[in-house]
Each structure stands twice: as structure tokens, then as C-alpha cells.
Amino acid sequence: GSCRYRCCPGRNNACWAPGARRAHCYCDSYCQRTGDCCRDYLATCRRAAVGCAVGPWGPWSGCSSPCGVGSRARSRQVTVPPRHGGDPCPDLKQRRGCLGQHPTCGTAK
């Protein structure tokens, strides 16, 4: 099978070509993970690949619990989405634990 005239980003089950032994081979960027790329995928599709680019992390949010165990979160935005089988985006959100210590916590006992 050949990827000529077709290269799809992400996982796209409609982006296939007839391969050897009547099996489908794929021309989407996910085929590298599943190992079912068409024989010319790398040469044809990676040539014009654009990898994902992301901006800086935003600030951490406040603790979700004013008193006791909670979590904080932060995020970042995609500045350039991946195209033509380029590197996928890294995580866009992070979460970590925190301990809420609002001044009123001690008086709630």
C-alpha cells in the first residue's frame, strides 16, 4: 500500500490503503504506534511533518480545599498543532497535591 496523496494527522481509520495480503495499511500518524503504516509512510508523510509546539505553563491554581488535602492545577496552550504526522502534543494539564491552610481552618475545630 502507498500513502501517496494521503497523509492524515492523529488517528484516522479512514486514512488507509490496500496493503499486502488484502490487509489495510494506514497513512495516519498513529500508525507509528500501532505498527501498521504503509511501506512509504515515513518517506511520504514525515517530509512535511510539523511537530506540536506548546506555550509556557500558566500559574498554579489555588488549592481546591481551603482546609486539608486538595489539589492545584495548571495548564498550557498549543501554539502550533501537529500536522502530517508530526510529533504529538505533550501533556497540556498538570495537577499536584496541596494542603489548604486558610486562616479560618484553625478556628473550625
pLDDT tens digits along 66-101: 988 999 999 999 998 887 667 789 999 999 999 988
Give the Cα separation of 41 and 96 in Å (integer).
39
Number of domains in the chain: 2
Q: What is the CATH number of the domain that holds 58?
A: 2.20.100.10
| Residue 108 in grid coordinates | 473550625
pTM recorded for the entire structure = 0.53
Boundaries of domain holding 90: 53-108
Give the Cα separation of 85 and 89 in Å (integer).
11
Q: Are residues 60 and 31 in the same domain?
A: no
Q: Are residues 66 and 37 in the same domain?
A: no
Q: Which residues of 25-60 are buried (b: 16+ CB within 10 A; e: fewer)?
A: bbbbbbbeeeebbbeebeebbeeebeebeeeeeeee
- Mean pLDDT in residue range 5-24: 85
pLDDT tier at 109, thresholds 50, 70, 90? very low
76: exposed, middle or buried (C-beta count within 10 Å: 0-12, 13-18, 19+)? middle
Q: Higher pLDDT residue, 87 or 15?
A: 15
Decide if pLDDT at 53 tops 80. Answer: yes
Q: Are residues 61 and 44 in the same domain?
A: no
